């Protein structure tokens, strides 16, 4: 499968930067909000920026690796949390309500599917992946199908008017899958990629590390699709498809925590031009989160020690996007406000 991502046209950068610099503030004084406004202005390519119908898609799936008990929770909790999202009771629901974000849940491959009547978006690739410590988590055909599913659901929401896509996930043991993917995709030492996920014990952590190390020792092809087939999760594959699908339609994507960031890394390896459409919501507590952000050269908006997933961090970052849009659209320039223009001296602070 190939994604054709239009490279972000950066020719307008000097004009946009000048507009930001002429606002009534010392140059650069709004820090990362300025970088964010520049990115959004390049993507939207219009003089008044907008945020219409932001949507959070939570992709949920189960993981065969949890046969080894690598999480604080049994795999059934994935489906139980899906029901919780559908009932409006999870943290992600609260933050979406607070910030005017619509939330949808995708069954990318949970153990026991829920009925259509629950409102879940049915895109299951199977009832959980195979245990990747024993062999490939899924087939290349499932990777392809997952990329198509993810692209399709992103496209549907964008066609319906969403101009900011937030991505989250739910999958017991998916930090094991994400850690293995990160190590395989970067050649970083496994120790840098593996963390405690939901908060596992020392004993579980040692087993998690050993199983991932063992899995990474078997021979496998190093292209992103093969890496996904080897160690991926059904939700992670669909996240890659959604990221690439949104970038194809030139829409910004707000990336949540560790697992979604690993999906973003693989998406960037498949189509490097998608990187310019990505906004990273936060840096969390999971060990590998820092490593994947570094590999992506990503600056983040929030640093709150989150490690929940579900898109909770992405939902929390939306007010900062609104703030970037509001200052870019409405903040007075020196000329508008009759304020003497101040120039940067280059003096150190
Ligand atoms: O997004 C993160 O940074 C993050 C870090 C740790 C855990 N999680 C969530 O916790 C689950 C995975 O943790 P674990 O211990 O079951 O591998 C999964 O449902 C994720 O949404 C999420
Ligand atoms: C309760 C619970 C809620 C979650 N939300 C995302 N991952 C989760 C993992 C657990 C265990």
The answer on 169 and 23 residing in a single domain is no
Instruction: Kindly state whether residues 103 and 242 are assigned to the same domain.
Output: yes
- Interface confidence (ipTM) of the complex: 0.99
Tell whether 289 is covered by a domain: yes
201 and 229 in a single domain? The answer is yes
Same domain? For 17 and 104 the reply is no
Residues 213 and 342 in one domain: no
In a shared domain, residues 250 and 266: yes
Residue 93 and residue 115 in one domain: yes
Domain of residue 225 covers 55-320
CATH code (residue 88): 3.40.50.10210
Give the number of residues written for the chain.
349
Of 169, 235, 286, 310, the catalytic one is 310
Q: Residue 339 maps to which CATH number? A: 1.10.1610.10
pLDDT in tens, the chain (349 residues): 789 999 999 999 999 999 999 999 999 999 999 999 999 999 999 999 999 999 999 999 999 999 999 999 999 999 999 999 999 999 999 999 999 999 999 999 999 999 999 999 999 999 999 999 999 999 999 999 999 999 999 999 999 999 999 999 999 999 999 999 999 999 899 999 999 999 999 999 999 999 999 999 999 999 999 999 999 999 999 999 999 999 999 999 999 999 999 999 999 999 999 999 999 999 999 999 999 999 999 999 999 999 999 999 999 999 999 999 999 999 999 999 999 998 776 554 4
Total structural domains within the chain = 2
310 lines ligand 2 (CB under 6 A): yes
Whether residues 32 and 66 fall in one domain: no
Residue 306, ligand 2, Cβ within 6 A: no
Q: What's the gap in Å between 172 CA and the centre of ligand 2? A: 7
In this structure, are 39 and 94 located in the same domain?
Answer: no
Whether residues 41 and 188 share a domain: the answer is no
Active site residue 248: no
Domain membership of residue 6 (yes or no) is no
Instruction: Examine the domain organization and report whether 65 and 97 are in the same domain.
Output: yes
């Amino acid at each position: 499968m190939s994604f054709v991502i239009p490279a972000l046209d950066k020719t307008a950068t000097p004009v946009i930067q000048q507009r930001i610099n002429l606002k009534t503030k010392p140059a650069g004084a709004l820090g990362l909000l300025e970088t964010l406004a520049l990115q959004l202005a390049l993507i939207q390519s219009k003089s008044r920026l907008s945020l219409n119908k932001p949507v959070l898609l939570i992709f949920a799936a189960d993981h065969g690796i949890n046969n080894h008990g690598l999480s604080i929770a049994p795999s059934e909790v994935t489906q139980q949390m899906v029901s919780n999202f559908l009932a409006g009771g999870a943290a992600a629901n609260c933050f979406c309500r607070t910030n005017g974000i619509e939330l949808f849940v995708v069954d990318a491959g949970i153990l026991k599917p829920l009925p259509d009547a629950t409102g879940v978006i049915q895109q299951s690739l199977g009832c959980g992946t195979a245990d990747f410590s024993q062999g490939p988590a899924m087939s290349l055909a499932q990777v392809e199908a997952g990329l198509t599913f993810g692209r399709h659901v992103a496209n549907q929401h964008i066609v319906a008017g969403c101009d900011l896509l937030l991505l989250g996930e739910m999958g017991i043991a998916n930090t094991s899958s994400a850690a293995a993917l990160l190590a395989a995709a970067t050649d970083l030492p496994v120790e840098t990629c593996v963390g405690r996920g939901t908060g596992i014990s020392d004993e579980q952590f040692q087993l998690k590390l050993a199983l991932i190390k063992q899995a990474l020792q078997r021979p496998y092809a190093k292209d992103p699709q093969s890496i996904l087939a080897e160690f991926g999760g059904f939700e992670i594959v669909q996240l890659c498809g959604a990221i690439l699908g949104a970038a194809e339609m030139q829409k910004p994507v707000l990336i949540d925590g560790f697992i979604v960031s690993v999906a973003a890394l693989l998406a960037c390896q498949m189509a490097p031009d998608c990187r310019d459409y990505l906004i990273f919501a936060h840096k969390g507590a999971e060990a590998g989160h820092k490593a994947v952000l570094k590999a992506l050269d990503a600056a983040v908006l929030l640093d709150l020690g989150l490690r929940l997933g579900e898109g909770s961090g992405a939902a929390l970052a939306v007010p900062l996007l609104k703030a970037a849009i509001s200052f870019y659209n409405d903040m007075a320039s020196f000329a508008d406000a009759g304020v003497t223009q101040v120039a940067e001296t280059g003096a150190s602070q």
